[in-house]
Amino acid sequence: MVNITHKSSTLRKAIAMAVVKVGDISTINAVLENTVPKGNVMEMAKAAGFFAIKKTSEIIPDCHPLPIEYAHVSYQIEGLEIKIKVEVQTIYKTGVEVEAMHGASVVALTIYDMLKPIDKNITIEKISLLEKTGGKSDYKNQDLNSISASIIVYSDEVYNKIKDDNAGKATFEYLQSLGLKTIQYQILPNNKQELEAIIKAQLLNQTKLILIVGGTGVGTKDDAPEIVSSFLDKELPGVMESARGYGQARTPHAMLSRGVAGVSGGALLITLPGSTKGAKETMQSLFPSLFHVFKTLENNL
């Protein structure tokens, strides 16, 4: 566990606490004097907490594996209470509150296990989250209601109902989960003129976020990147580098996507893969962090 000293806009931090209450002051003295038969309580519990933080995704089914950049366990003794504080930091797409709470709970359980032979009245009083920053909830302060979005599914097969549009629907649901209220949705065939006309109309309507789903591959009809690029004032190559890197770690073919992203006036345009998995992973890799671009665009308008 190493403290990363550089700052990042994607830093996530969480602080959790737990309280262990012993039955007698002699137990506290044994801990402080390091005379507990099972060993050094504070150090053993701290080590167990670090293991728990790193292995949270192996224990909690819905937690994703993530890199831990920093972890710290501290103690404060007040009367018969041992107060545990656990801080966890990561540079990743999700928050680390569960990792911090899992670490705090295991620290408390380890203290309980080491002290129960000498104190039959020891209890774990509570486990709680004290602070969380950098996760999706941080974007609640941003007025997402002001961000109108348009999802344009660009596919002959979907338009002709040869296959269902799972990718576009998954993108729609993901935007809804982030709190966006105004989301348009439409399906187009692979036709350059029609896509250009729709993008022009969305820009005139001052739609903030325009997502084109499909047409990013290497097929003869995959011309979405070229069409979108013609509208961009500035391309944002790092956006798609991030998306492809995220996808490549999960799908060997993610590198074949030719997706582009950039800004046009006050709008953000992004192309997404036509596969459901590719569209989901692109959205997960970019949002909610990418909403920050709208603050910059608003300041420049």
Please state, in angstroms and rounded to a whole number, the distance separating the CA atoms of residues 224 and 218: 11
* Catalytic residue from among 24, 62, 113, 143: 113
Sheet strand arrangement including 11-21:
70-78, 81-91, 11-21, 123-133
Under the phi-then-psi rule, with left for phi > 0, alpha for psi from -120 to 50, and beta for the rest, what region is 259?
A: beta
**d(C-alpha 130, C-alpha 19), whole Å:** 13
Q: Which helix (H) or strand (E) holds 26?
A: helix 25-32
Query: Do 136 and 178 touch, CB atoms closer than 8 A?
Result: yes
Element (H, E) at 70: strand 70-78
Question: How many angstroms separate the CA atoms of 150 and 184, rounded?
Answer: 5
Does 113 participate in catalysis according to the annotation? yes
Residue 201: Cβ within 10 Å count:
11
Residue tagged 């549009």 (tokens): 165
C-alpha distances in angstroms, 293 versus 239, 240, 247, 250, 290?
A: 11, 14, 22, 26, 6
Q: Which two tokens mark 149?
A: 């979005």
**Sequence-ordered list of residues with C-beta below 8 angstroms from that of 55, at least 6 positions apart, any chain:** none
Give the residue numbers annotated as catalytic, written as ranges: 113
